[in-house]
Chains A and B, each alone.
Chain A
Amino acid sequence: MKPAAFAYAQARSLDHAIALLSDNEDARILAGGQSLMATLNMRLSSPSLLIDINCIEGLDAITERDGIVEIGALVRHAQAEQSPVIARAAPLIAAALPHIAHPAIRNRGTLAGSIAFADPAAELPACLMALAGEVEIQGPDGKRRVHADDFFQGLFETALGPHDIITAIRVPAARPQTRIGFAELARRHGDYAMVGLAACARADGQKLRDVRLCYFGVGATPLRARQAEALLTHGSDDDQIEKACAALAQDLDPADDVQASGKVKLHLAGVLLKRVVRQLLEPRS
């Protein structure tokens, strides 16, 4: 299908974009557009105005400073895939990126756009939550930062207000003892996952500490499996991993969807947990 008619404006600056958002009801921000354009074409959404932020300068940088990796709002997936900073200091994101859609889409789509859209089956919202990252937001009242645990609030619902824009996403830079794990099950490469798991931990001798297991595709938002996390901080031998898998039944309650029944998804969540714990136990090269 073709989109319903809308007006289009290029924002010259963040302030200009926020002013346009405030002055126009039903306006939407256009960044990479790789989800938005599809919803427009299918007429699932029909905004009055698209505010294109692609020409705003200074939003396409990836920087590492004071132990934080900051990814600007216009950093595209392909750019992040090739970034040595992401490879070294945000290895969980580096591991997730090849699973996101396809090359032609990764050339346009932005990391911040994926966070803003908050598809419950998308990789990056779960990565942001696993890394205990935060979202930097600018709105009519100025700038603020929201922790990933508070950002994702419901199905496609986030802490963003109607006149807010994400300016960057921030994640703690990996340290030598940082361990990461990522796995997902999808019917085709590049599809949204049936079930996926992004995980982060801190190695302390043979033990794992600060384990954060974030599942995607199993609920309305990325979901932490808190009981499984707690069990894995007490040990990660085979027995303990089995206990953590069993605890997923309390942590997760996936609904049936077109891809699989909730029961199947719960089983797959356990399969992924075993794979990801093996990754968490491996020192990073």
Chain B
Amino acid sequence: MSESAKLLHAISLQVNGEPVSETVEARKTLVDFLREDLGLTGSHVGCEHGVCGACTVRVNGQIVRGCLMLAVQCDGAAIETIEGVSDSGAIADLQDAFEKRNALQCGYCTPGMLLTSAELLNQTNAPTREEIREHLSGNYCRCTGYHAIIDAVEATIRARAGAKP
């Protein structure tokens, strides 16, 4: 095996704005790295094959499945998790709307739902309910039946549009 092909790799990256340097096994997924090595347990592990969306995090500004990317691939990347996005206050209104409308019960899917919804809020001004549903269709919720989640996202979109001059 050639010299560069190794089982262990040193990586340096930014996580929620903080520089991080660690050594990781090649096989370690990004979400396991965040949870086990950095203690950032807000990103959840559900299906581990890209179906449920509980592990959604941002890599270089785009949402990805944390279980379908390796930590070693994130050398040099900027990662944002629900912890960082919550602390920044960027989605405080969306989080309030989730709480007001009971858009969560057990909360397991919520970090993924919030980050996925946040991407939609950043992309387009006035998505329809159908578009919200489509955008969130890759995130499973086993408690709410989704209606309250769609309501919360829609309410946040309306409030943000109303707040604009």
Which A residues lie at the B interface, using CB under 8 A?
1-10, 19-20, 23-24, 30, 33-34, 37-38, 40-42, 48-50, 52, 54, 78, 98, 101-105, 107-108, 188-190
* Chain B 1-25: CB-based contact to A (< 8 A → 1; otherwise 0): 1101111010000000000000001
Sample (26) of A-B pairs whose CB atoms are under 8 Å apart:
A2-B29, A5-B25, A5-B27, A6-B7, A6-B26, A8-B7, A9-B4, A10-B4, A20-B2, A24-B1, A37-B29, A37-B68, A41-B67, A42-B48, A49-B1, A50-B26, A52-B73, A54-B73, A78-B62, A103-B135, A104-B56, A104-B138, A105-B65, A107-B63, A107-B64, A188-B137
* A41 engages B56 (CB within 8 Å): no
* Chain B 139-152: CB-based contact to A (< 8 A → 1; otherwise 0): 10000000000000
**Chain B nearest CB: distance from A8 CB in Å?**
4
Give the CA-CA distance A73 to B7 in the complex, in Å: 26
- Among B8-57, those with CB < 8 Å from A are 9, 25-27, 29, 32, 48-50, 53, 56
B119 contacts the other chain (CB 8 A): yes
The 6 A-B residue pairs with the shortest CB-CB distance in the complex, in nearest-first order: A102-B138, A8-B26, A9-B5, A38-B49, A37-B68, A189-B137
Given the contacts A7-B7, A103-B138, A38 and B27 also touching, CB distance less than 8 Å: no
From A7, A37, A190, give the contact of B69 (CB < 8 A).
A37
For A1, A8, A49, A78, the residue with the greatest tally of chain B CB atoms inside 10 Å of its CB is A8
Give the CA-CA distance A33 to B72 in the complex, in Å: 13
- Among B68-83, those with CB < 8 Å from A are 68-70, 72-73
From B26, B70, B119, give the contact of A103 (CB < 8 A).
B119
- Among B109-126, those with CB < 8 Å from A are 116, 119
Give the CA-CA distance A190 to B25 in the complex, in Å: 31
Which residues in A have their C-beta under 8 angstroms from that of B65?
A: 34, 104-105, 108
Nearest chain-B residue to A32 (Cβ)?
B68
* B137 engages A102 (CB within 8 Å): yes
**Chain A nearest CB: distance from B28 CB in Å?**
8
**Chain A nearest CB: distance from B145 CB in Å?**
14
- Among B123-165, those with CB < 8 Å from A are 133-135, 137-139
Give the CA-CA distance A40 to B48 in the complex, in Å: 10
Given the contacts A2-B27, A34-B50, A23 and B62 also touching, CB distance less than 8 Å: no
Q: Apart from A34-B65, A98-B134, what are 9 other A-B pairs with CB-CB below 8 Å?
A: A5-B27, A6-B7, A8-B72, A37-B67, A38-B68, A52-B73, A102-B138, A105-B50, A188-B137
* B137 engages A8 (CB within 8 Å): no
* A34 engages B63 (CB within 8 Å): no
**Chain B nearest CB: distance from A269 CB in Å?**
24
Give the CA-CA distance A9 to B27 in the complex, in Å: 12
Nearest chain-A residue to B134 (Cβ)?
A189
* A103 engages B69 (CB within 8 Å): no
Give the CA-CA distance A40 to B69 in the complex, in Å: 11
* B2 engages A38 (CB within 8 Å): no
Which residues in B have their C-beta under 8 angstroms from that of A103?
A: 63, 116, 119, 135, 138
Give the CA-CA distance A3 to B50 in the complex, in Å: 14
Given the contacts A37-B50, A42-B49, A103-B63, A20 and B5 also touching, CB distance less than 8 Å: yes
* B27 engages A104 (CB within 8 Å): no
**Chain A nearest CB: distance from B132 CB in Å?**
12
For B32, B48, B135, the residue with the greatest tally of chain A CB atoms inside 10 Å of its CB is B48
Give the CA-CA distance A104 to B50 in the complex, in Å: 9
**Chain A nearest CB: distance from B80 CB in Å?**
13
Which residues in A have their C-beta under 8 angstroms from that of B29?
A: 2-3, 37, 41
Give the CA-CA distance A8 to B70 in the complex, in Å: 10
From A8, A49, A52, A107, give the contact of B62 (CB < 8 A).
A107
**Chain A nearest CB: distance from B47 CB in Å?**
9
Give the CA-CA distance A98 to B135 in the complex, in Å: 10
Give the CA-CA distance A41 to B48 in the complex, in Å: 7
* A5 engages B63 (CB within 8 Å): no
* B6 engages A8 (CB within 8 Å): yes
Which residues in B have their C-beta under 8 angstroms from that of A5?
A: 7, 25-27
